[in-house]
Chain A
Amino acid sequence: MSGVVGVLALQGAFEAHQLVLRDLGVKTVQVRTPAELELVDALVMPGGESTTMSHLLVTSGLFEGIDSRLKQGMPVFGTCAGMILLAKGVLDGRSDQKSFGAIDIDVKRNAYGRQIDSFETDIEVDGLVEDFHAVFIRAPQISRCGEGVTVLARHGQDIVLARQGTVMVAAFHPELTSDNRIHSLFTGLLQEV
């Protein structure tokens, strides 16, 4: 694909995403300000703390800008906290927590428990030949999935990778493995734009 993929760099594992994107030969920049948002054609929202990012989206003035770009169809990929920020509904989130409602799912934060319950497992992913090794860290769970949403992977009964239009979300952390295939699915979406 041509174009620049921005990585929201307010807090969290944004550098890990950049490494995977660069590995795919994609040009990537860190986005902390509305001016930096102007430079990008697509955006990755990384894992981290969604409450912290929610605050910083407001104080940085990025919330409105991202919201309007999403409405114009900018492709976006949210992992873990990034998925929470993109969800329509956040169960047991903080009352002041902002989300973009860009994908018709509800999510439950820290659904698998505390850090001691974090885990790794191999999952089957729609469109990939071999299983993907998925790392779940204090992961959120998709508790409701709307009709327009395509399920791309499950762990047991739980949906862990999904897509609606050009919005893709993962409950796990594809940026923490050296396997770039999930990011490749996302950059593949950009061709469709």
Chain B
Amino acid sequence: MGREGSVGTLIAMTTSKGNSASGPMKVNRGLAEMLKGGVIMDVVNPEQAKIAEDAGATAVMALERVPADIRRDGGVARMSDPEMIEGIKAVVTIPVMAKARIGHFVEAQILEALGVDFIDESEVLTPADETHHIDKFAFTSPFVCGATNLGEALRRISEGAALIRSKGEAGTGNVVEAVRHLRSIFGDIRRITQADSAELFDWAKKLGAPLPLVQEIAETGKLQVPIFCAGGIATPADAALAMQLGAEAVFVGSGIFKSDDPSPRAKAIVQATAHFRDAHVLAKVSRNLGAPMTGIGMDKINERYADRGW
């Protein structure tokens, strides 16, 4: 799929009305650009953070429990203890991300005060607001938000997200939902580029998204910010699949540290993401990695995290 020239949108945004990428937004979208082609790994302690950095992660996501454990334990999942986030920040030189609940702007304020490099307003945690997401323009720190379709992605961008990721279905080790989200987002982008100017009004209405953002996509053929894949990636092949579908980098949550042997798997996923079109490299790095996380089928899960967010 045509991935060349996706950065044009960043440049275009510096001139487009109503969404000028200047001030924090320019450096924040810039950091998202720097993370492209890389793997962002979920870690729950400094030891895992070191393993992730040693394996070539571009960033780590600091959290108390990986999604697979959140799913198993149930209850309310909240922002992690600042002490554990600080502990992880102290041992790695790569960017550190952390999660706030959907709509919980005070958790986000705390994460910004901690100097976290990217805030994930995440459906993996229990939502704090059933109607509103965080006004991300009120912050200096960059935000990444999940999306299942283009309308959701554009609503998050209009609220100030510097990076979009698929939601997938976190903690399942099953990539099917992430594939659905990526196909939906890129499919609609392709269709919008074929629409005439009158049809764009209807697209904006159908997507529940601001018209200027839809018009901009019609012109550029690209989302305004980078788009990464998250949710259910467990193998090097999963990562390369997401990249070939159009994702520009991958988040791997439970897939690494819930597998038999995290370090070799982490290294293999880093190589697969960099060389995502080279089947010979993929064949080489997929060998002898031990058992991946067991994973679960979509019919066996009680609650879809992807349904969280509005």
The chain A residues found within 8 Å of chain B, CB to CB, are 9-16, 18-19, 32-33, 47-49, 51-52, 55-56, 59-60, 80-81, 92-94, 109-110, 113-116, 118-120, 135-138, 173, 175-178
Contact of B7 with A32 in the complex, beta carbons under 8 Å: no
B22-30, B233-241, B286-294 - the one binding chain A: B22-30
B217 in the interface (beta carbon within 8 A): no
A51-B94, A120-B22, A176-B7 known, 7 other contacts, Cβ within 8 Å:
A19-B8, A47-B33, A51-B53, A52-B56, A52-B57, A52-B270, A56-B270
Which of B150-158, B271-279, B301-309 lies at the interface with chain A? Answer: B271-279
Nearest CB on A from B276, distance (A): 10
Cross-chain contact B27 with A16 (CB below 8 angstroms): no
Within 8 Å CB of B22, what residues of A? 120
**Cβ A11 vs Cβ B33 within 8 A:** no
Q: Is the CB of A177 within 8 A of B112?
A: no
Q: What is the total number of residues of chain B having a CB less than 8 Å from a CB of chain A? A: 45
Is chain B's binding surface mostly helix, strand, loop or mixed? Answer: loop
Report how far A16 CA is from B299 CA in the complex, Å.
42
Distance of B4 from chain A, by nearest CB (Å): 7
Could you tell me if A178 and B14 are in contact, using CB atoms closer than 8 angstroms?
yes
A59 to B278, CA, bound (A): 14
Q: How far is the CB of A44 from chain B (nearest CB, A)?
A: 14
In the complex, A49 Cα to B117 Cα: how many Å? 13
State which of B34-42, B72-80, B123-131, B203-211 sits at the interface with chain A.
B34-42
Q: Is the CB of B58 within 8 A of A49?
A: yes
In the complex, are the beta carbons of B93 and A115 less than 8 A apart? Answer: no
